[in-house]
Amino acid sequence: MSFTVQISDIAYFIIFCLIVVVGVFLAIALYNLNKVIKQARKVIETNAENINKTMTVLPEIMNNVNDTTACVKENVDKASNIVETVEETVSEGIIDTIKIIGAVVQVIVGKFTSK
């Protein structure tokens, strides 16, 4: 009894096995995907009322966020202007104080050096 196997027969067998393995993996992946989709659908159905409430309130929340952002921007601009004004005033006050102290020191030094 003689049995001959050609390389093409082996190649076809390997390709067939690979296709079967890939098919099994694909079936398992689709089964798991189906389970995930069922769970997601169940969660959505369970929380449908909450989701609808949230969706109806969402535009109002966005308007509040926009109003708050505008208010914060105005307050930051005002605070920035106040800080600049205080900085200028303090700088001028410090310079004036240094000039006065310098003048007082010159008078005191002049009194002691003239005698």
Four-point Cα dihedral 103, 104, 109, 114, nearest 10? 90
pLDDT tens string 50-109: 999 989 999 999 999 999 999 999 988 888 888 888 777 777 777 778 888 888 888 888
- Predicted confidence (pLDDT) at residue 26 exceeds the cutoff of 90: yes
Provide the pLDDT for residue 114: 59
CA separation (Å) from 3 to 6, 8, 64?
10, 15, 83
pTM of the predicted structure, to 2 decimals: 0.46
Where does the chain have alpha helices with state H? 7-46, 48-114
pLDDT at 25 over 80: yes
